[in-house]
Each structure stands twice: as structure tokens, then as C-alpha cells.
Structure 1
Amino acid sequence: MKKTLLASLALALGWGGTAFAQTEVDALRYSQIGVTGTARIQAMGGAQTALGADISSLSGNPAGLGMFRRSEFTVTPGVQSVNTDASIMGSRTSGSNSKFVFPQLGVVLSNRKGDSDASDWRGTTFGIGFTRLNNFNEKYTSYRTQSGELDPTLVEYFTDLAIQNGRDSLSLNREYRDGFTTLEGLAYGAFLFDVEGGEYYPLERFGQISHREEIRRTGSQNQLDIGVGTSYKDKLYIGASLGIVTVDFSQEVIYTEAEGDPTTPFTSLEYRDEFNTTGAGVNLKVGLIARPIDALRLGVSVQTPTAYTFDDEYQRIINTSFNDGVESAAEVPGQFSYRLVTPFKATGGIAYFIGKYGFITADVEYVDYGDAKFKEDDDFSSGGFFDDVNDGIATNNKSAVNYKIGAEGRFEVFRLRAGYAYNGELDNGSSYNAGFINYKYGATKHYTLGAGIRLQQFFVDAAYVHSQQDITYAPFVSGTSYTPYSPQGSGEPAVNIDRKQNSVLVTLGFNF
């Protein structure tokens, strides 16, 4: 048996226990935001920093609230689907998940002064709005077969884990009696290996072994913004908003191995990992928009780090099927609370208006993902339990420059829109190293289209957003792909994931 198997899936999917599962990837999940806002803004790639007069300004650049001349209510329903293609050793499988969503809802109340009022400050606009920042829904399944006589499988991984952790029969039997709290204890309780006289014996299997892994993720990240904006001489717009962020993320991993050889008592095993986290955080945004001439707008906004509190719940179960029955072992359900601070963001934008025919707008955003930090729940100062994880975040999560560009064409009451957004790779390949694993996220590209009709008291906008990203996860030794588990130096099995998200949304707006 090969020794020192890499704990890759344990780190990638939380197999080490949730209390020890926070990694650079977890910090990134809640730091990286895609295309958000109303259908109008999403149809232009999310570019809005210099634009203003849209309720999306609450979560983008609150200075845009100062451009409202009337009060407005908007609601945005939509349908969102996520498709993933996973390839492993020449085999390719697909998964999909579709949901009805509400990516935006809100109201602004404008107290605009009349044209007869000669004061420099032109009034104040208040707003409150809901925005969906991230959709975590996805599902994919991978399959493969291997020779049980030649290649280590999950059984050898668990056995080797017991060796690495110095587990003897006394400690394993104690865990069997008192309640399972470790992976090797679960495997021992499910009869996947045995220990006698200091020797370790993995469960005997022969012939072809088939593997199946299914990963289901659900949840979302949402933000409620409360903001205010004002205008000075209709040349300078100033605004601020408070963001209250909520997170709900669940993941279920179901991994199976099956053998068809009738000469061994083993039939199959199923490993099930269930994980759920909920969190809440707060941030502050401030912004400016300058209009030096009627055709040109320049905007800038900054967002403070978001301070989160998370509560995790987790449990793992192993079921082993034999010719004469099933042996099961279930981990004692666990809970863990901690804090996370995601990075500061700065965004600059420009919008140029071509008379009554429309405009072109663009944004550039800077985020240093290496500034994210985990903290213990009872101590908001850095250091302590999460020192190693935070060092990994600072080392492996680099800064990124993201950009968005969009355009709107106008003809009487009709609008046509298009855009593109790019969430960049992080320094030559977006490599996030968690323990023995390299996580490589390619750039996320968003292609957007839309149309709208603007009437005196009512407007409707529609948008289509197509997002795509190539994700590769790999053992540190190979640096190429995602791997459910892998013995040291083998570089297999490797999974490459092609993720595509499609959104269709409609904004209904009412002026009053």
C-alpha cells in the first residue's frame, strides 16, 4: 500500500471537519461578486459607477442616488440556470440546476427641488434595496473505473489517514464506543480497515472498481442596502449606503465505490458529507460622481471590508455494503462559529453620452483578495487559531483588476443594450493553495444583452446574462486539475470543471 496519501478531497470539500475546513477558497467565495443589479444595469455588463439614476446605485455607487428626479419602485424577477461539465480520465458528465430568483427589489424616494429653487443643493434621495450578489446553486457528477489490485482507492486513503495520525486499535475502539469524530474513525466503524498488532489492513477488493462522485451546492449571498444621495449644482453628486449582507450556503457530497467481484464480501461503500453555513455581515459604501460637461460623467466609489459572522453545521456518514448486510457509521453532528473579513474594494467609472442617442460606460474595480482574514468568534483581533489559514490567504489570494463595459442605444421610448464584464485571474492563473491542493480558477467572463421601454410613469427592461468559467483543482504535485483523492505523486484522478451560468431577468419599474 502506498503511504502518505494526499488529503485532497478532505481539504477541498471539508472532509477534515468544518472547524478545520476554512481555506483561501472559502474566503474567495464571499469576496468575489459577479454582474448584479436591475435588468438595465446587468444588460450593460454591470457597469454603473459613473452612470447614476438607477436603483442599482445603492449597491454600486450610492452617489448615483443624487441624480434621481422622481421617486421610483422596481422589482426584478428572473430565471437562473447553472450548467457544469465535469471531465475525468476521458469521461465527461454534465449537471444542471435551474431556479426562479429575485435578483433585485427596491424603492427610492426623491425630494428633488423644483427648477425655480435657486439653491446649490438640489435635494436629497433616500433608497432601500435588495440585491442578490451571488448564486451558489450547482451540481455535477463524475464517474470512472479502475483496477482494485493496482490503484489505491478511498479505502486506502482512510487507512493511510489512520497511519498518518498514529491511530491504534485502542483509540479507534474508544471512538467506536463514544461517538465518531474523525474520518479514520468513521472508516473503522464502517469496517473499511482493521488494525491488529500494529499492522493496518484495508478491506480486500479485486477487479474493476467503479467510482461515482456527486456534489450538490445550494444557497445565495444577498445584500440589503440603505442609502442616501444628493446633488450639488447638478455637477457633483455625493452618496453613501450601508450594506447588510446575508449568506446561506449548503453542500452535499455523495461519493460511492462499487465492486462486482463475487469472490470478496465487499459490494460497495457510500461516503456522504453534509455541510451548511449561514452568515451575516455589514459594510459601508461611499461615492462621488462628477459631471464636468453634460456629455461626460466620472465616478468613483469605495466599499469598506465586509465583517461577517458565520455558523457552520456538518456531519459525515459512511455506509459499507457487504454480501450479507450493511455496516454504517455516522459522525457526531458538529457546529463551529467564526468570523470573516472580506477585502476593501475601489471602483472607478466613466460614462460618455452621445446626445439623445445613448451612451457608453465602463468600470474598473480593484480588489486585493489576499486581505481577507478569518478570526475566532470570541476574538475579533487577528491571530490565533486561524494563523496558518490567514497566512495562506495572504500568500495565495492575490489582487485582481476587474472591468466592465456597456452601452445603451436609444430611439424614442425604446432601448437596446449590450455589455461585457471580466473578473480577472489572480496573478497568472488564480492559484489558491489549501494544504496539499492547488485550486485554479480561470477568469469569469460575462456576456450581456438587453432591451427596454421607457414611458412616463412606467418602464420595463429585460436582460440576458451568460457567464462562463473554467475551474481546475489539482494535487499540489501536478497543479492541473481537481481531484477527489489522490495518492502522492500519482496526479490522478483529475476532474476539470466547465461552469456556465445563464440568467434571464425582467425589471418592472414605476415612477411616482
Structure 2
Amino acid sequence: MKKLLALCIVLHSMIFMVKAQVPDDALRTAWFIPGGTARNQAIGGAMGSLGGDITANNVNPAGIGLYKTKELVLSPGFMLNNNKYNYRGTNNNLNKNAFAYGASGIILGSPSPYRGSWTSSAFSVSINQLASYNNHISYKGLNNTSSYSEQYLEELIRDGASPIAAEQNYIFGSSLAYRTYLVDTVNANGQLIGYKSLVPLGTGITQQVDATTRGGYHELSFAFAGNLQDKLYLGTSINIPIISYTRNLTYTETDATDNPDNNFESSVFNEYTSSNGFGLNVKMGIIYKPTNNFRLGFAFHTPSFIGFRDKIRADMTTNTEAYAGIVSESSDNLNSGDPGQRDYSQITPWRVMGSASFVLHEVADTRLQRGFITADLEYVNYKGARFSASNTEDPIANNYYTSLNNLVKEYYKGAVNVRLGGELKFDPIAVRLGASYYGSPYSDKALKASRLMLAGGLGYRNHGFILDLTYSHSINKDVNFPYRLNDKPNTFASWNNNRGNVILTLGFKI
């Protein structure tokens, strides 16, 4: 009896991991258009060789080395989301707006008190919202090929689950489906021979996904940079990723016919997930001026090592008409009212970038500079993301994460990102334009995905006061999978997102 109880506990733990973790989670901390100050956003985020902006903490910390004075920066913003989904030929539109912010903090730059090669040094502390997770996902369509109930069939059949195991060991998914008769046993001569779904795929079902997500990827940065004779700048930042993510998901399948005698009317699955993580990474960079007008930059971002704690609750209500009627079940009822909890670690992809800038009339007095053109070329190894169990001595968890990491390597690839921007100065006013393009992280060419940002802004600098205002517009293409199956082609929704971002940066020389 003790061995059976231990086995149930292990299976319960394993099933929670499988339910809560999918390859898509690897992109949440890797594929996004990073935030920054209004000036940084207006030039497309191309900060790799330019410097002189607190956003350099998150891009190329050598850029902090251009500071010889002290500066305080605040960057509030507002985000406007317009989503268009196409799922199996049906279009769905909706909007989601939210507050946001860019790089904010303090830079402490000072000339070197000693005669020698080092001209100045700078230290900076900042907080930046690299990515916002505030969004609303909603789409529906007709499907006569697959059902989300089939993921539970695959799970039960794969594990050779007994009816007792099906009822008790999968409390965030398959057990809910089994207890509400979305799936049921198939018996012959009093013996279990398998499981079946009560969803009538032959006549079609209407599927609908509605999910609200909140939170963001924030990064607390501590950067130090040195200036060698105003020619060479070296910098390093130690960064603490702070991640909060919640998702309230409702998934519904409804009989597409009016037949009251086919043993299926509808099934509604609700899942409530929260994920919080803290981590560490290091960014290193160099900026070199071969001539007064040219700047070359190089930066390397180590992978972030992030520890996560996830919590999950789920419930399901299924109406199988004359078969069993309306039946509801919840994970709270099966788990003493407590959410499921899982601790794990993630290693994000590394990044490397090369940059170049041309400054018009490069002089020490920035008020006399006439503008610049700057560009970044960045490579991100998306398939390099890895997950691991916090308890490394758990063989079941280790085997699961090995399989998950193999899927990440199969689903994703490395991709190139390009950022370009420029500024013209009419002291004390500056006019800025920029653009950036982020390539698809998917290895499957059928999954069309990209991110394009176009931006423009104005800046004002006078007597130590800085005021920058930018509007950036992102055109994003991606896909969303309502569920994943092993024995059928996976269906997905095409997502076209237009995201406007208004950001204001206030700066003060102190």
C-alpha cells in the first residue's frame, strides 16, 4: 500500500509538470522587442554603439562610459494592443491596453581624479520593463479533425493508466476530463481495453479560447563602465531578471449540431496559472571610436539563470447529455483546496551583437552635435533555452525536462535581429526615427512569425533638463496553439498584433 501511495505521488508530480510546462514557455523570456527610454525606442532600440543613454545597461553597458556627469531618468508609458486572430478560417478581433514603463534609474558619471589613461568612469542603477505580458487572447472556429480531449486520451494511454489512476493522479487535466466524462473507459468482457472521447468529431465542434495574461519581464541592472581617452569604452552590467506572469484561461468545446442525442453538448475547461521568477545574468560590451565620427560596438549577453515557482488551479464542466448529464470537477476539490506548485529553473538563450554609429559633427559638447545614424545586428540562439528541475535527484523530473529540452531544440532555431535609427538635432530640439526587425524563432517555416517596430519621437535638452516623447508601433506576427497532440497535426491560430506604445522620458542632471 505504501508503494502504491508513493507511486501515485510521483505520478501526480510528473503530471503537474507536463500540464504546466510547454515549449512555448521558452519564448516568453526570449522573443520580444525590449523596452527602454523614449530616446532609445525612437531610434529603434539601436543602442549597441551609441551610448549616452541609461538603456545601455540592458544593451551594451559600455555606453554608460560616455557619461561624465550625474543624471536621473524616469520613463512612464502606455501600451495599446490590437489583436487579430484567424483560427481555422474564422477571424476574431479584440483590444487590450495597459500601462507600461521604460528604463528608469540613475547614472553617476565622473571624470577621473588622476592623470592617466582613464578619462572617466560611470556607475548606473536602472530598472527596465523588457517585455509586457498584458494581453487578451481570444479566438474560435469549427474543427472536425481534433479535440482538446485527445490530449487526455494520449496521456492516459501512454501511461497505461488504470481507472483509479485516471481518477486520482492527473488532477489538473486528465482526471478532470475523466471525472466529468469528457473521456471514459472502453471495456470488453469486463476488462479495460482503453479510453474514449465523447466529443463527436465526425459532425464537428466549435472551439473557443479566451485568455487574459498579465505581468512583465523586468530587469534590475547594476552597470559599471570606464572611458579610456574618449576612444575606448568598456562596460559590464550585472542584471537581475524579475518575472511575473499570470494567465486566466477558458477553453470551450461545443457541439456544432443541434443533436440532443449524441452524448455531447459542451465542455468548459478553466485554468488559472501564476509564475514568478528571479535570476541573474551578465552583459559585457565595448565601444571603440576609430575616428571622431565613427563608433563601433560589440556586446555579449550571457544566458539568464532564472528560478521559477509556478502555481496552478483548474476546473472543468462537461455536459454529456443523456450519458452522464452536467458534471463539474476542480483541482481544488482533489488537492485539499491548495494550488499545485512546481519549482524549476530556466536558462535563457545567449545573445551577441555588433553595432556601428556615425555621429555628425562629433565634439565633446553634445549640444553642438548635429545628429547620428546607428545600427545593431544581433543574433539570438532561441533553441538554446533549457529547463531543469529544482530537485536534481528526481529521476522522473529529470527525464521529463530532458524530453522538453529536446522539443525546444526541435521547435526553435537561432535568428537575426536588426535595429536602425537616427537623430537630427536643432538645439535644443531633436527629431528621431527608427525601426527594428526581429526574425522568427521557429524552425518550422509553416509557422509565420516576426516582429517589426517603427518609431518616431522628439527630444528636448536644455540647462540639464531632458524631455523625450516617442510613439512606437509594433507589427507582430505569431501563432497560438490551443493544445498539442502527438499523433495528429497540431492546429493553431494565426496572430496579427498591432501594438502602439507611447513613452515619455524625463531626465535631470544632478
1:345 equivalent to 2:351? Answer: yes
Q: Alpha-carbon deviations, 1:404-461, whole Å to 9, x = none?
A: 11000111211111111111224xxx236xxxxx993512111111111111120110
Are 2:38 and 2:75, in contact at CA under 8 Å, matched by a contact in 1?
A: yes
1:453 equivalent to 2:460? Answer: yes
Name the structure 2 match of 1:111.
110
Partner of 1:425, secondary structure, is coil
CA-CA distance at 1:361 after TM superposition: 0.5
Aligned-partner residue type, residue 404 of structure 2: V
1:407 equivalent to 2:407? Answer: no
| Mapping 1:220-369, distance limit 5 Å | 220-259=216-255, 260-263=258-261, 267-321=265-319, 326-331=326-331, 332=335, 333-355=339-361, 356-369=369-382
Partner of 2:405, secondary structure, is helix
CA-CA distance at 1:237 after TM superposition: 1.4
Matches of 1:380 and 1:509, distance apart in 2: 50
Partner of 2:100, secondary structure, is strand
Name the structure 1 match of 2:8.
none
Q: Alpha-carbon deviations, 1:231-255, whole Å to 9, x = none?
A: 1111111221110111111222211
Matches of 2:199 and 2:27, distance apart in 1: 41
Matches of 1:30 and 1:140, distance apart in 2: 18
CA-CA distance at 1:89 after TM superposition: 2.7
Partner of 1:52, secondary structure, is coil
Partner of 2:34, secondary structure, is coil
* 349-358 or 218-227: bigger deviation: 349-358
**Structure-2 change in CA distance of 1:343 and 1:485 (3 Å):** closer
Partner of 2:253, secondary structure, is strand
Name the structure 1 match of 2:5.
none
1:423 equivalent to 2:438? Answer: yes
TM-score scaled by structure 1? 0.83
* 387-396 or 132-141: bigger deviation: 387-396
* 405-414 or 193-202: bigger deviation: 193-202
CA-CA distance at 1:84 after TM superposition: 1.8
Partner of 1:317, secondary structure, is strand
**Structure-2 change in CA distance of 1:18 and 1:371 (3 Å):** same
Are 2:440 and 2:448, in contact at CA under 8 Å, matched by a contact in 1?
A: yes
Partner of 2:447, secondary structure, is strand
Aligned-partner residue type, residue 300 of structure 1: F
Are 1:77 and 1:507, in contact at CA under 8 Å, matched by a contact in 2?
A: yes
Matches of 2:416 and 2:263, distance apart in 1: 56
Name the structure 1 match of 2:72.
73
Name the structure 2 match of 1:9.
none
Matches of 2:374 and 2:39, distance apart in 1: 13
Matches of 1:374 and 1:52, distance apart in 2: 34
TM-score scaled by structure 2? 0.84
CA-CA distance at 1:499 after TM superposition: 2.2
Name the structure 1 match of 2:33.
34
Partner of 1:81, secondary structure, is strand
1:129 equivalent to 2:136? Answer: no
Are 1:37 and 1:103, in contact at CA under 8 Å, matched by a contact in 2?
A: yes
Name the structure 1 match of 2:366.
none
Are 2:469 and 2:503, in contact at CA under 8 Å, matched by a contact in 1?
A: yes
Matches of 1:143 and 1:94, distance apart in 2: 11
Partner of 2:68, secondary structure, is coil
**Structure-2 change in CA distance of 1:462 and 1:163 (3 Å):** same
* 416-425 or 192-201: bigger deviation: 192-201
Q: Alpha-carbon deviations, 1:452-499, whole Å to 9, x = none?
A: 1111120110111111222235xxxxxxxx45467955x585422112
Partner of 2:270, secondary structure, is strand
Matches of 1:230 and 1:458, distance apart in 2: 25
1:63 equivalent to 2:75? Answer: no
Matches of 1:113 and 1:386, distance apart in 2: 50
Matches of 1:264 and 1:319, distance apart in 2: 17
Name the structure 1 match of 2:3.
none
Between the two proteins, the alignment pairs up a number of residues equal to 472
Are 1:180 and 1:329, in contact at CA under 8 Å, matched by a contact in 2?
A: no
Among 213, 217, 221, the alignment partner of 1:217 is: 213
Are 1:18 and 1:313, in contact at CA under 8 Å, matched by a contact in 2?
A: no
1:190 equivalent to 2:190? Answer: no
Matches of 1:151 and 1:392, distance apart in 2: 24
Name the structure 2 match of 1:499.
497
Matches of 1:493 and 1:19, distance apart in 2: 19
Aligned-partner residue type, residue 160 of structure 2: G
**Structure-2 change in CA distance of 1:264 and 1:46 (3 Å):** same
CA-CA distance at 1:188 after TM superposition: 1.9
CA-CA distance at 1:27 after TM superposition: 2.0
Among 160, 163, 166, the alignment partner of 2:160 is: 166
* 55-64 or 264-273: bigger deviation: 264-273
Are 2:100 and 2:132, in contact at CA under 8 Å, matched by a contact in 1?
A: no
Matches of 2:353 and 2:483, distance apart in 1: 38
Partner of 1:305, secondary structure, is coil
Partner of 1:470, secondary structure, is strand
Matches of 2:199 and 2:434, distance apart in 1: 57
Name the structure 2 match of 1:10.
none
Are 2:172 and 2:314, in contact at CA under 8 Å, matched by a contact in 1?
A: no
Matches of 2:279 and 2:199, distance apart in 1: 50
Are 2:351 and 2:379, in contact at CA under 8 Å, matched by a contact in 1?
A: yes
CA-CA distance at 1:19 after TM superposition: 4.6
CA-CA distance at 1:357 after TM superposition: 2.3
Matches of 1:487 and 1:340, distance apart in 2: 24
Matches of 1:372 and 1:74, distance apart in 2: 33
Are 2:44 and 2:436, in contact at CA under 8 Å, matched by a contact in 1?
A: yes
Matches of 1:229 and 1:182, distance apart in 2: 49
Are 1:302 and 1:345, in contact at CA under 8 Å, matched by a contact in 2?
A: yes
Name the structure 1 match of 2:11.
none
CA-CA distance at 1:327 after TM superposition: 1.6
- Where do 5+ consecutive residues of structure 1 fail to align? 1-14, 433-437, 474-481
| Mapping 1:139-158, distance limit 5 Å | 139-145=136-142, 153-155=147-149, 158=152
CA-CA distance at 1:263 after TM superposition: 4.7
Matches of 2:266 and 2:312, distance apart in 1: 24
Partner of 1:231, secondary structure, is strand
User: Percent same amino acid among aligned pairs?
Assistant: 26
Aligned-partner residue type, residue 329 of structure 1: E
Name the structure 2 match of 1:443.
450
CA-CA distance at 1:271 after TM superposition: 0.8
Are 2:392 and 2:398, in contact at CA under 8 Å, matched by a contact in 1?
A: no
**Structure-2 change in CA distance of 1:84 and 1:299 (3 Å):** same
**Structure-2 change in CA distance of 1:483 and 1:320 (3 Å):** closer
Are 1:466 and 1:501, in contact at CA under 8 Å, matched by a contact in 2?
A: yes
